[in-house]
């Protein structure tokens, strides 16, 4: 099953009173849906399909976050005037937020979650998937994907 | 004031704006023991071991930050029942602001929540520029009034 659909299903499987376990797993699954989307897009052009899982393992949550922050700042001034910048900003911003949600879900065990804590991030990831579809062939999209490996952002995208 | 190993404490002695979202804050490590409960010191004092740290402007100027956020609240519209925030580091140690937003029950519906939250977040970014002006990564958590009322303790007060 598609991981994002799975996240939505976990979030609603016990409606109207989902358990904490369902709420937490749903958000963590939504984060990994976006994480794996970006990694799979980054490795898509790797020549030999059988080796695509190897470069995928290079990606690190922390380096991906740093790249996302850099891109978010660089896109900020253009997000109102450029549809591409707006969509990429949305993907980047959602990725940063979902990392924090996922961290709360996986490690913040004392916190009591509500349905809104889960519904909103999943809806945000669904929208980020749509945003990505609209820009994945634009030049800035692969630049962002490559930057998530931990390389410096090129000055022509800053 | 933060404890420091070896009987010293960090005492903030001054701040200076150094760049977008950052503040250079001079910390003075002051000997702190029973004989010297209220130490007097200056940057030139030999008892001071100064450290210069660059910290998020939002952490250094919390009163100004609070004022900036208060000015935005009237713009948020009727779907935002309450907005509070907490300053903390995020999962990887970056200075962050965690907005806690109680949305109306109508705006909290599955079909409405994304539009309502995008509006809140766009307004905060446009008017406050959390990262660029204050050096804070913005994060948001949402609850409906029903969810908030069901809690035994108001942990968002």
| B91 has a chain A CB within 8 A of its CB | yes
Q: How much is the mean pLDDT over chain B?
A: 79
B41 alpha carbon, distance to own chain's centre: 28
| B125 has a chain A CB within 8 A of its CB | yes
Q: Characterize B44-82 residue by residue with b for buried, 16 or more Cβ atoms within 10 angstroms of its Cβ, and e for exposed.
A: eeeebeeeeeebbbbbbbeeebeebbeeeeeebeebbbe
- At B7 the pLDDT is 44
Extract long-range pairs of A125-129: CB within 8 Å, 24+ residues apart. A125/A4, A125/A7, A125/A30, A125/A31, A125/A33, A125/A34, A125/A94, A125/A98, A126/A4, A126/A8, A127/A90, A127/A94, A127/B114, A128/A34, A128/A90, A128/A91, A128/A94, A128/A95, A129/A4, A129/A33, A129/A34, A129/A37
- Distances B111 to A22, B106, B116 between C-alpha atoms, Å: 20, 9, 10
CB contact under 8 Å between A124 and B114, yes or no, is: yes
Report whether pLDDT(A11) > 90.
Answer: yes
How many other CB atoms are there within 10 angstroms of residue A155's CB atom?
A: 7
| A50 has a chain B CB within 8 A of its CB | no
Cis peptide before B157 (omega within 30 of 0): no
A148 vs B71: CA distance, rounded Å: 36
- At A1 the pLDDT is 76
Residue in chain B lying closest to A65 (CA)? B92
CATH number of B62-149: 3.30.70.1420
- Distances B39 to B1, B2, B49, B54 between C-alpha atoms, Å: 13, 15, 14, 25
CB contact under 8 Å between A116 and B143, yes or no, is: yes
Which of B57, B24, B25 minimizes the C-alpha distance to B136? B57
What mean pLDDT is predicted for residues B115-125?
A: 96
Q: Which chain A residues have a beta carbon less than 8 Å from that of B151?
A: 112
What mean pLDDT is predicted for residues A135-156?
A: 79
Of B108, B139, B143, the CB nearest to A97: B139
Q: Where in chain B is the domain with CATH 3.30.70.1420?
A: 62-149
Judge if ipTM > 0.90.
no
Residue A6's contacts (CB-CB under 8 Å, 6 or more residues apart) are A29, A33
Residue B29's contacts (CB-CB under 8 Å, 6 or more residues apart) are B4, B8, B9, B10, B11, B48, B49, B50, B51
Exposed (0-12), middle (13-18) or buried (19+): which is A70, by Cβ within 10 Å? middle
- At B152 the pLDDT is 85
B41 vs B28: CA distance, rounded Å: 9
What mean pLDDT is predicted for residues B31-47?
A: 38
| B80 has a chain A CB within 8 A of its CB | no
What mean pLDDT is predicted for residues B69-91?
A: 96
Chain B: give the shortest CA distance to residue A131, in Å. 14
- At B22 the pLDDT is 74
Under 8 Å between Cβ of A36 and A62: no
Report whether pLDDT(B55) > 90.
Answer: no
- At A57 the pLDDT is 76
Share of chain B above pLDDT 70, in %: 68
What mean pLDDT is predicted for residues A88-115?
A: 93
Q: How much is the mean pLDDT over chain A?
A: 88
Lowest mean pLDDT among A28-42, B16-30, B142-156: B16-30
- At A18 the pLDDT is 92
| B107 has a chain A CB within 8 A of its CB | no
Lowest mean pLDDT among A20-29, B13-22, B78-87: B13-22
CB contact under 8 Å between A116 and B92, yes or no, is: no
Under 8 Å between Cβ of A127 and A94: yes
CB contact under 8 Å between B114 and A103, yes or no, is: no
List the domain range (segments joined by +) for residue A141. 3-157
- Distances B14 to B25, B42, B87 between C-alpha atoms, Å: 6, 10, 20
- At B155 the pLDDT is 87
Q: How confident is the model at residue A30 (pLDDT cuts 50, 70, 90)?
A: very high
Q: How many domains does chain A have?
A: 1
- At B119 the pLDDT is 96
What mean pLDDT is predicted for residues B85-92?
A: 95
Query: Which comes out higher in pLDDT, residue A49 or A90?
Result: A90
| A100 has a chain B CB within 8 A of its CB | yes
Q: How confident is the model at residue A49 (pLDDT cuts 50, 70, 90)?
A: low
Q: Which chain A residues have a beta carbon less than 8 Å from that of B147?
A: 114-116
Structural tokens at position A23: 């709420």
Q: Which chain A residues have a beta carbon less than 8 Å from that of B121?
A: 93
Of A99, A117, A127, the CB nearest to B91: A99
Residue A157's contacts (CB-CB under 8 Å, 6 or more residues apart) are A71, A74, A140, A143
| A153 has a chain B CB within 8 A of its CB | no
Share of chain A above pLDDT 70, in %: 87
Which of A135, A130, A90, A103 minimizes the C-alpha distance to A32? A103
- At A48 the pLDDT is 64
């Amino acid at each position: 099953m598609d991981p994002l659909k799975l996240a939505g299903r976990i979030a609603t499987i016990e409606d109207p009173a989902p358990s904490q376990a369902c709420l937490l797993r749903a958000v963590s699954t939504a984060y990994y849906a976006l994480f794996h989307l970006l990694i799979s897009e980054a490795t898509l052009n790797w020549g030999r399909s059988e080796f695509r899982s190897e470069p995928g393992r290079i990606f690190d949550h922390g380096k991906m976050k740093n790249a996302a922050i850099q891109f978010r700042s660089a896109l900020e001034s253009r997000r109102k005037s450029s549809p591409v910048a707006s969509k990429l900003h949305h993907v980047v911003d959602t990725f940063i937020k979902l990392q924090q949600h996922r961290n709360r879900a996986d490690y913040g065990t004392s916190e009591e979650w509500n349905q809104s804590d889960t519904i909103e991030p999943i809806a945000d990831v669904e929208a980020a998937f749509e945003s990505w579809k609209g820009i994945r062939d634009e030049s800035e999209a692969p630049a962002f994907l490559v930057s998530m490996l931990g390389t410096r952002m090129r000055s022509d995208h800053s | 004031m933060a404890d420091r190993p070896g009987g010293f404490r960090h005492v903030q002695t001054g701040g200076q704006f150094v760049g977008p979202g950052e503040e250079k804050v001079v910390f003075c490590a002051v000997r702190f023991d029973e004989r010297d409960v209220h130490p007097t010191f200056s940057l030139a004092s030999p008892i001071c071991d100064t450290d210069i740290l660059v910290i998020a402007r939002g952490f250094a100027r919390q009163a100004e930050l609070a004022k900036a956020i208060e000015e935005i609240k009237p713009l948020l519209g009727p779907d935002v029942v309450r907005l509070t925030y907490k300053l903390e580091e995020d999962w990887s140690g970056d200075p962050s602001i965690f907005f806690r937003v109680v949305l109306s029950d109508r705006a909290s519906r599955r079909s409405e929540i994304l539009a309502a939250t995008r509006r809140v977040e766009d307004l905060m970014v446009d008017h406050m520029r959390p990262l660029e002006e204050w050096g804070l990564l913005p994060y948001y958590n949402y609850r409906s009034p029903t969810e908030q009322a069901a809690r035994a303790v108001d942990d968002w007060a």
